[in-house]
Amino acid sequence: MAQSYTTTGFNDRVIMVTGAASGIGAATVARLQEAGAKVVAIDRMPLSAPAALCIQMDVTSENEWIAAASQTVEQLDRIDGLVNCAGIIRMGAITDLSADDFRLSLQVNVEGPFLAMKHVLPVMYRQASGSIVNISSTAGIAGAAGAGGYCASKGAIRMLSKAAALEAIGNKSNVRVNSLHPAMTETPMVKDIVSQLGGDETIEDQMRALQPSGNFIPVKAVVDSILFLLSDASLFVNGTELIVDNGFTAQ
């Protein structure tokens, strides 16, 4: 009974998920479909997973977001939820990180969710309902040496979510916006980080050792939290950050 929100209450709800081709996004799409939602899967890569609607697009393009929101409403009538999972990481000390990589981190990790909310929130306001979950990171709570661009972007999405939540409350819309902050999670991003740091197979072990449990967060734990924030079980959770880190930020 404690996890009923992960399996019920989503029948026919229309939920958009970015970064749907892999990692947390792909797992979220699968779980929402199991729960009966009509999922709009969004990614820059071709999508093969079944969904009510698949949109291949660049999340940093405002024109493509205008089209995606319009297409979703035209075909599925409404938008009940939005999960911004799409993200990148570019490793490097501040003295070494290129300005282009820093800008790219902000563009994908902050501007992407900003554009998504800009064009999805008006739909939710008209409905007077909706829930938005922006995937941030513990890097948006605590710093991480060698990941300045990522930390900056994840801290920004945390505060952007709070601003959006207050605007939604001001609109008396019953729309909620929250950020979710997982610690290092078992996704392809881990391999990407290891590769960027030189590919030494001991790097992943060192990353695990930074976690109090000695291990990464399972994807299922993150997806459970996403579904909680999308569900009616969290109707009064708004403008906050949900940290899923098994004690990482308590150190």
In the chain, beta strands by DSSP E: 14-18, 38-43, 53-56, 81-84, 130-135, 175-182, 241-244
Question: What is the mean predicted confidence (pLDDT) over 14-34?
Answer: 96
Cα distance between residue 75 and residue 80, in whole Å: 14
Which residues pair with residue 178 across a beta bridge? Answer: 133
| Dihedral over Cα of 195, 196, 198, 200: its sign | negative
Catalytic annotation present for 125: no
Q: pTM of the prediction?
A: 0.93
- Phi, psi (rounded to 5 degrees) for 144: -145, 115
- Give the model's pLDDT for residue 188: 82
Cα distance between residue 84 and residue 116, in whole Å: 8
Pairing between β-strand 81-84 and β-strand 38-43 as defined by DSSP bridges: unpaired
- Give the model's pLDDT for residue 80: 98
Q: Tell me: pLDDT of 168 over 60.
A: yes
Q: What's the pLDDT band for 249 if we cut at 50, 70, 90?
A: very high
Question: What is the mean predicted confidence (pLDDT) over 82-108?
Answer: 96
Pairing between β-strand 241-244 and β-strand 130-135 as defined by DSSP bridges: unpaired
The one catalytic residue among 5, 65, 102, 150: 150
110 vs 31, 50, 161, CA distance in Å? 25, 28, 10
pLDDT digits (tens, 9 = 90+) for 98-109: 999 999 999 999
Q: Which fold has domain 4-185+218-244?
A: Rossmann fold (3.40.50)
Do the Cβ atoms of 238 and 219 come closer than 8 Å? no
Q: Residue 88's CB: how many other CB atoms inside 10 A?
A: 17
